[in-house]
Structure 1
Amino acid sequence: MDENINENSSNEKNELCTTLVTGTTFQTWEELEAHLERYALQEGFSYKKTRVDYHLSQDKMKCLTAEQKKYEIKRRTYEFNVTRPKKENPIGITSVKLEHNHEMNPLVNEMAPKFRKFTQPMLNDVEFYVKHETTSARQIYPLLHAKFPDHLIFKKDLYNAIQKFKVGQKDTIENDTANLLHYLYDKKQQDPEWFFKF
């Protein structure tokens, strides 16, 4: 009975394994991106597009970690090319070099900005909270953490998202010093007898 459990668990691990193989095809660019993100998280690296043709028929991807080292690395051995022929619809991986010239980072999902980004539903929630005057990260963080438990949320990223939506708001706080100063200048222009001193 224990042997059956071990066989089933090894089969589940094989099903969850994502690979990059020359000739693999995808129907959309989004499907390819999702596959690459799963593979990068599984292997412990991040990637970036290094060249995109004008009509989105070819992408060249490189490992991001190799370029972030302190020393200049001339030999970049990890890369893969993706093309979409004009006559055929599917997008295919045309060449793959899977050798890395650096150590893999198992915590890449916490380190790489690509994987730390807020999803669109998360940004929508932050925008909603900011519009309804809940602008404190101390209040928003537990709400986001409860709604998106699988997504790692860094306070710095949350602060940036809050600030992005705060700046976008046209109405500022009524007690703001700048608003008071503008109000006083307007009153002084309307009535020359108005006087205020700093």
Structure 2
Amino acid sequence: MKFLTGLLISSLSLTILNAQTTMCFKENHKSMTTIESTKLDGGLCASNTSVKDMVKNGWSVDDIKINKSDNGFNYIYIFKKQSINTNSTFVANEQDLEDKIMARIKKEEKIKKEIVQKKKAQASFESGKIKYTKTCQTCHGVNGEEEYGTSRAINNINLEDFKTIMRDYANMSYDRGQASVMFPYTSTVTSEDIENIYEYLKKVNK
């Protein structure tokens, strides 16, 4: 297993390079509330020592890395032992560890949400580009800057006005002299199409 092999090599390297630093891990652990009392693998833990045991032996938790797995979470702990000459002490308690774990999980969830939002925005942009190019570009210009006939440029209209104009053209209740030209187009676009077109124009006119 590449994950285990990589951790064992890294763990061994850390222990050799610095006797006061070691790395232990646990794969596919399901309960966050029991991780501190679970025996960890690798490093000086060697499947015999838990986080609580390490702390009792004078080690402090320097960092925690958490990755979600198919069967729970993978935990990587970096332990450091305080120098004999130092006056500072590090007290690791259950609340500290839980706070670090929760912070990691929230950070990962935030990143995932941002990725989803970016993908959604990109899909909206691409859809808006296709719809605008096929439906609107001939009259309104590449970036919505053209004033076709008596109509105004649409590259600087806010979203609410844009929605209202498109709706009223489709209902034949709005006319700046081009209602008959606009109706065939506005009567076929959906509300989602309108928002996508708007987002496309907004981005290309930045």
Bin the TM-score by the shorter chain. Answer: under 0.3
The TM-score with structure 1 as length reference comes to 0.25
The TM-score with structure 2 as length reference comes to 0.24
The structure whose residues are more often helix, as a share, is 2
